[in-house]
Structure 1
Amino acid sequence: MATRIAFYGAQPYDRESFDRVNEAYGFDISYYKGHLTAESAVLAKGAGAVCIFVNDTADAATIRALKEQGVPLIALRCAGFNNVDLEAARREGIRVVRVPAYSPHAVAEHAVALMLSLNRKIHRAYWRTRDGNFALHGLMGFDMYGKTAGIIGTGKIARILIHILRGFGMEVVGYDPFPDEAFASEAGMRYVSLDELYRRSDIISLHCPLTEQTRYLIDDRAIGRMKPGVMLINTGRGGLIDTQALIEGLKQKRIGAAGLDVYEEEGDYFYEDKSDKIIDDDVLARLLSFNNVIVTSHQGFFTEEALANIAHTTLSNIRDFEAGARLANEVTGDGR
């Protein structure tokens, strides 16, 4: 009998990509639109694994409930795992696996899309022309050629982005606590201090992990050190930015534009259709009120190639667990 996977938070695109890839694996996937919680864990009774996303809840109570239902594995179909109580999972003997990477090209290209849209006011021009307004006032941008981009964190996504921006003829400076000088030489960029990056950059893009050290990396003090009118892009983690400080920076015109694919309190909104409801998050509502801010719903990863990679890696993780093989993508209790 095929192993059953209880798949929570299922969207139509999840079903399509996983069903296609599952033809090679043969699992019995039960799709549930609702999110995993302590109450909904009963739906996973007898399943060999639950498959969850970043907006599902796997706290201690939920993990206890999964244990009671006999579930031995939590398979995250994402890279982030901050929604899982790893200590509780260790206590209950439930293993946790994830998808560490799906398509760095997808996220890097989305960061560029945000930059170009904000710079050339594409979002505003789109709405104007739909209304028959073809005036150019207020739509002026700048040549990215010759400008300076500051990249914070130089992992896989950032390295692809750096190559793209160098192709635009931009100067690129980067900050990373573990600089790779060989890459910098090959890419034609230079590592600098955070202070110098803030001072020189016309565009700053965030690509570092969210840790205790990087939480609110962009706060009022950091914004005060930036070049006035800087464009800020975040396709990393919402908690890298103190949103209240960002709003103040926008109001004072210290920040010229912001492109955000993530938001620190996104869990109640992103990936859901809330168009018929009032947004009761005053901070998010304020962000959406700025015409020089673009917020996208954590869609940087959302390409055909990335979804296929997510499905392949997730189902491969579950197959390896079944076979008793080494779990290359296991998340351990120390957060690795």
Structure 2
Amino acid sequence: MKLLVYSAKDFEIPFLKKGNTKGFEVIFSPDRLTTNTAMKALGFDAISIFSADDASINVVEKLHDFGVKYIALRSTGYDNVHLKTARKFNIKVANAPGYSPYAIAEHAMALLLSLNRKIVLANNQMKMQDFTLSNLVGFDLFGKRVGVLGTGAIGSVVVKILHGFGCEVFANDLEPDLELQKKYDVTYLSKHEMQQKCDVLIICLPLTSETHHLIDDSVLSGMKDGAYIVNIARGAIVETKAILKALDSGKLGGYASDVYEKEGGVYFYDRRGDLIKDPLLKELVNHPNVLLTPHQAFATREALQKIAETTFYNLNCWRQQQTPDFEL
């Protein structure tokens, strides 16, 4: 089986090479999968893509025309793949779920703590020999009411960490986790109740038609004044314009995110020297109460190893005409 790896980054290639224990013929390409780069898949049985790749209707149709039979995602989320079209052309698709919920959950806490305690600002001040504290006042996380939207693999780890900090933890999920309720004193609430009660909201949801722009003007206006939001899920779950409006008015005290709704083609690339053409991203990057990271939450050695192992597990199952556990 010949495999083309799209969006291959230098930091993940060693893990993918190590994970290729079954002798797949692999070509690594730094290019994103788009309508313009789909032709690179000609002659390959399978492709592997990441969250920023575009496997929409037109692209999947082209992949079918070029003979691609399998798509192995190196991510948990698969909102960038038009599954209905893939099934129409009998293209098998599988993701890599649960590669390291700890990596993502720990990054959520790093974002929250760094934003609240002004760590980046403090470091920049130190480099300029400014040792004052006037701009560096934060709040105790202990005793704060923190809401977790989504208590799946990642959200449940976030809950456990928050419990260790002494937070009063609330959660919202279609299927409440009884273990979290019993062992970690989690109270499940409706989204409306949560937005009214919580000092901090952490988003751990998948992106679906129901969660697209879930955090909008109506939700933000109902939150506590000065509340914080942390997004480690998908950028499009929040409406960026609404976030900026709430920040500017002071309704929202801070926003930290590892994702952005229009990150495709921007994140994962060195854009130094380029002008940011997206006005919303430019405003976010420069806002004093915003902390952004470039979709790096997954980037731990443990997670990258697991992603590689799962990717080749899926491919090997297909090669042996078996159905992998993670087929979508």
**Which stretch of structure 1 is more off in the superposition, 165-174 or 88-97?**
88-97
SS at match of 2:174: coil
Q: Where does residue 6 of structure 1 map in the other structure? A: 4
Matched, 1:139 2:136: yes
Kindly tell me: are residues 10 and 120 of structure 1, through their superposed partners in 2, closer, same or farther at Cα, counting changes over 3 Å? same
Distance 1:14 1:289, change over 3 A: same
Match of 2:312 in 1: 315
Identity of aligned residues (%): 37
Partner of 1:334: none
Matched, 1:275 2:272: yes
CA 1:195/1:63 → structure 2, altered by over 3 Å: closer, same or farther?
closer
Q: Is residue 184 from structure 1 mapped to residue 189 from structure 2 by the alignment?
A: no
SS at match of 2:64: helix
Deviations 1:167-195 (A, max 9, x none): 11111111223223342111122112223
Structure 1 residues 108-119: aligned runs within 5 Å: 108-119=105-116
Instruction: Please give the alpha-carbon distance, in whole angstroms, between the structure 1 residues aligned to 2:317 and 2:55.
Output: 22
Deviation string for 1:143-180 (max 9, x for gaps)? Answer: 11111111111111111111111111111111223223
Q: How much has 1:63 moved relative to structure 2?
A: 2.4
Where does residue 17 of structure 1 map in the other structure?
15
Alignment of 1:126-275 (within 5 A): 126-275=123-272
Three-state SS of the structure 1 residue aligned to 2:12 is helix
User: Could you report, residue by residue, the CA deviation over 1:242-267 in whole angstroms, capped at 9, with x for unpaired residues?
Assistant: 11111110011111111011111111
- SS of aligned partner of 1:213: coil
1:7 Cα offset (Å)? 1.0
- Of residues 281-290 and 92-101 in structure 1, the stretch that sits farther from structure 2 once superposed is 92-101
Tell me how many residue pairs correspond in the alignment.
328
| Aligned counterpart for 1:43 among listed residues 40, 48, 56 | 40
**RMSD over equivalenced CA pairs, Å:** 1.4
Alpha-carbon distance between aligned partners in 2 of 1:87 and 1:204, rounded to the nearest angstrom: 33
For structure 1, the residue ranges without an aligned partner over 5 or more in a row are 332-336
The 2-side partners of 1:164 and 1:279 are apart by: 36
Distance, in Å, in 2 between the alignment partners of 1:263 and 1:123 is 20
Unaligned runs of 5+ in 2: none
Query: 1:290 is matched with which residue: 275, 287, 290?
Result: 287
| In structure 1, C-alpha distance between the alignment counterparts of 2:249 and 2:239, rounded to whole Å | 15
| Normalised TM-score (structure 1) | 0.94
Q: Distance in 2 between matches of 1:303 and 1:33?
A: 20
Q: Which amino acid aligns with 2:175?
A: F
Deviation (angstroms), 1:25 = 2.0
Moved over 4 A (4+): none
Question: Are residues 195 and 56 of structure 1, via their aligned partners in 2, closer, same or farther at CA, if it must alter by over 3 Å?
Answer: closer
Correspondence for 1:97 among 94, 97, 102: 94
